[in-house]
Structure 1
Amino acid sequence: MFTILVSGCLGALTVPSENDLPAAPSAPPVAATQAPYPPTNKPYLERNVIIEVKRIDANTVAVTNAGGADASSLMGLWLNVNIRGYVFPSSGRVTSQAGSTAYYPVPEGSHITITGEFPDCNANLWVGYTSTATPAPTQAPAYYPTPGTTQAPSQTGDYYSRSYKWSFSGYDYTWDLTISKDAYDFYKSRPHNRQSNYAMYAMSDYDRTYLRSLVDKLNEASERDGFSEYESVMMVIAFVQSLPYTSDSVTTGYDEYPRYPIETLVDNGGDCEDTSILTAALLYEMGYGVVLISPPEHMAVGIKGGDNVYGTYWTYEGSKYFYVETTGEGYGIGQIPPEYEDSTAKIYPMQQLPDFDITFTTTYVSSDFYYVYYKVHCDVSNIGTGVAKNVNVYIAALALTQGTDRVWTPDHTITIGDIGEGGTAWAEATIRVPRGETSQIECIVYGDNFAPEIVKSNTFNT
């Protein structure tokens, strides 16, 4: 054991032997401004003066000012070396510049005195001893993308069988459909959020096989019976209008439960949202421009039409979309129920919308003189529709005591890449928080074609 005496802000500091010491930190505490979309280089917020003393070998110690400000007139970091009663003075008065390191020969058991003037000296002055052990590192961020673990539902095994009957233009039609229970369960397990863009339910990647099969059957019947293009579209509308109207609360137990097309087909009907989503999906698969039109407390479809189409329409991005009612039989294109004639409406364009669910765990790793280290494991799942492009995960510890939007460095951005619909991935990184601080872990997933999702832990103290 040897002793460091510090004059100025701190009193005598007794340093234990190396075996009693924690692993050395890789750097003194700093904080950075956060810019997570994506994070950019951040200005450091550093403590004033940090003096570290590290034994290099049995005869040498290194004295480092690891802070962000100079410690001037340190009396040369005056070293009185006491060996067998003989005192060896140090070699003069120096200034310890920020980031500088000085080496001194000091045999084991020596008495070391450090005196000096520390400008703006306050509680932010740190004097520490670090051992020769390898510094506790901040681990390199890692990830393991697993898009596909829950992607395409199986089409083998048990099936639901459904038979549909409807009439149009003097013809009676019957269509038998088998749908994999795995496919139905896949969509049943997806989030059903009425606050989202309803059009996303019509745009899933994994029900196209079933929708394509139905469209092919409808096109074959239209061609066989000599229907015009307008009549072919009306035949699809008539099929959906023939499905029974069922409320969400009766069939699902929820007041509002937007269904994917597969769910509506297996459940043999739904409310206005469900039949509109199914109609839009079928017409989109046939190659028509469609949107969802939502007057107050209602949902319908808009099909893109030109000057030769008549009736009620809404204009969206310079095109006319004619109203299509899906819950009552007999309504044609452009015919709207009287209660909605003068209503304003929301327009939902057909587009895939990746969306993410984030969960994360934080595990204590270790601690040293300056820091407490935590491993953060973040799981992300694409619960929306379509492929999420250029997915990144940002992991940081918020520096809550240092001001708004600051994080403790190092923060991490982990690039995962594309994640398919239903796909999952995870990212890991080790963060560090200075002792005596209040912090919060933040995980953000962001990319090219979806809105960022942010989750935070509860606040904690180190």
Structure 2
Amino acid sequence: MEWKDVVPVLAGAIIILVVAFVVKPALLGEPITSGSEPVVVRNPPVYASPEPVATPTPYPDDGPAYTRSFRWTAIDGGVHTTVVRIPEALFQEQRETPRLSDYHIWGRYALADADRPILEDLAWRIAPPSGNPEEDYLRLMNLVFFVQQIPYDTDDSAASYIEGTLPPHAMYIEGGVEYPKYPAEMLVDGRGDCEDAAILMGGLLDALGYDTVLLRYSDHMALGIRMNEFNPYYAAYSPRYFEYEGKHYYYVEGTDFEWENVSEYTTAIIGRPYPIGNTRDIPIPSVRSETPEIIPLRYLPLPEEYRIRQARLPAVSGGA
């Protein structure tokens, strides 16, 4: 056998030995032996994703906060009180947020994510759950009465804001002022106008799972709540509702909780709320005479139509 025939044989034998004693044990995770001492093959480092870092809440519970006490008369005539805590950081952030002039999308203020925990807690304290379905109406009316008894004030009144001056993003529209408040803002200010009350009430009712819409009149805003065949036997009025997408939404007033004397012989006063569906006694002419525009809280505005028109080029003079 010539030398040139021996070289391929030796090379093949070496390859077989390497595969048998090095490659195979490494693939199977077995120790590589050299004589009697095992040679340990170190596993390559395994990537371990870092532990997620907890994102600090922008409104910590232990941070500075506004504390507001509320006192209201419930449907059973009893007087109730509660305390609401609003983080100062949340209030300041909302005060510095520009307002949207299109009232069709004011429902987003009622559904603001940052306000949701506050509204859920407040709604469940005003109207705690009950195992009796017949008490649902009483729970609902207690929440309505709570909002109705928050003092009314117009957007152009400096007294409507705790700063004593109009917010920087108040909008001057048609000779007046508009400033739809977030629910947290109205709770801190302790007063507001009709759209503020409708927004706050809508947020509270949504937190309890009720389907509501905004009712827009020419000079007023109220709330509509979806109810089926609502016709209370004790009502001295025919409950007013409006149909939207096959559903009945009953009128709910958020302002003008009227106080009147118990009798002419005493200075004691008693509150006269406006129950659900009652538009007969509302002292606002537009409510009694107009059909409102119905705006769902989760209203999605359609994009405007833009048309591209041919530009008029200036006339060219001379031979250029």
Counterparts of 1:391-430 in structure 2, within 5 Å, are: 404=310
AA of the residue aligned to 2:86? I
CA offsets, 1:280-315, max 9 Å, x none?
A: 111111111100101111000000011233511111
The 5-angstrom pairing of residues 21-40 of structure 1 reads none
- Aligned residues of 2:223 and 2:251 also touching (Cα < 8 A): yes
Q: 2:251 aligns with which of 301, 305, 323?
A: 323
Q: CA deviation at 1:232?
A: 0.6
Query: Is 1:333–2:255 an aligned residue pair?
Result: no
Q: Secondary structure at the match of 1:303?
A: strand
Residues 27-426 of structure 1 mapped to structure 2, 5 A cutoff: 153-155=58-60, 156-168=62-74, 169-196=76-103, 197-220=105-128, 223=130, 228-250=135-157, 251=160, 253=166, 254=170, 255-309=177-231, 311-329=239-257, 330-336=273-279, 337=282, 339=285, 340-351=287-298, 404=310
1:219 Cα deviation from its structure 2 partner? 2.8
One-letter identity of the residue aligned with 2:251: Y
CA RMSD of aligned residues (A): 2.9
For residue 113 of structure 2, what is the amino acid of its counterpart? D
In structure 2, the residue corresponding to 1:341 is in which secondary structure? helix
SS at match of 2:114: coil
Structure 1, unaligned stretches of length 5 or more?
A: 1-150, 356-399, 406-462
Give SS of 2:178's match. coil
Instruction: Provide the C-alpha distance between the structure 1 equivalents of 2:57 and 2:295, rounded to a whole number of angstroms.
Output: 26
Cα distance in 2 between the residues matched to 1:274 and 1:207? 14
2:43 alignment counterpart: none
Work out whether residues 276 and 292 of structure 1, in 8 Å CA contact, stay in contact via their aligned partners in 2.
Answer: yes
The one-letter code matched in structure 2 to 1:327 is T
Alpha-carbon distance in structure 2 between the residues aligned to 1:235 and 1:319: 24
Compared CA separation, residues 198 and 173, structure 1 to 2 (3 A):
same
| Structure 1 pair 195–331 and aligned structure 2 pair: CA distance change class (3 A) | same
**8 Å contact from structure 2 (residues 109, 183) kept in 1:** yes
Residue 205 of structure 1 deviates from its aligned partner by 1.2
Question: How many residues end up aligned between the 2 structures?
Answer: 210
- Rounded to whole Å, the distance in 2 between the matches of 1:228 and 1:312 is 21
CA contact (8 A) 2:230 2:239 kept: no
Cα distance, 1:353 vs structure 2: 5.6
Partners of 1:259 and 1:286 lie apart in 2 by 20
Asked whether the 8 Å contact 1:203–1:352 carries over to 2, the reply is no
Distance 1:321 1:354 in 2: 21
Distance between the aligned counterparts of 1:308 and 1:244, measured in 2? 28
SS at match of 1:249: coil
* Cα separation, 2, equivalents of 1:294 and 1:347: 6
1:194 offset after TM fit, Å?
3.0
Gaps of 5+ in 2: 1-55, 171-176, 232-237, 258-272, 303-307, 312-320
Deviations 1:61-117 (A, max 9, x none): xxxxxxxxxxxxxxxxxxxxxxxxxxxxxxxxxxxxxxxxxxxxxxxxxxxxxxxxx
Q: TM-score, normalised by structure 2?
A: 0.60
Indicate the percent of aligned positions where both proteins have the same amino acid. Answer: 34
Cα contact 1:261–1:277 (8 A) shared by 2: yes
Query: Partner of 1:322: helix, strand, or coil?
Result: strand
Q: Which has more strand, going by share of residues?
A: 1
1:352–1:207 distance in 2 versus 1, CA, 3 Å = farther
Query: Against the structure 1 CA distance between its residues 152 and 323, is the aligned structure 2 distance closer, same or farther, given a 3 Å change threshold?
Result: farther
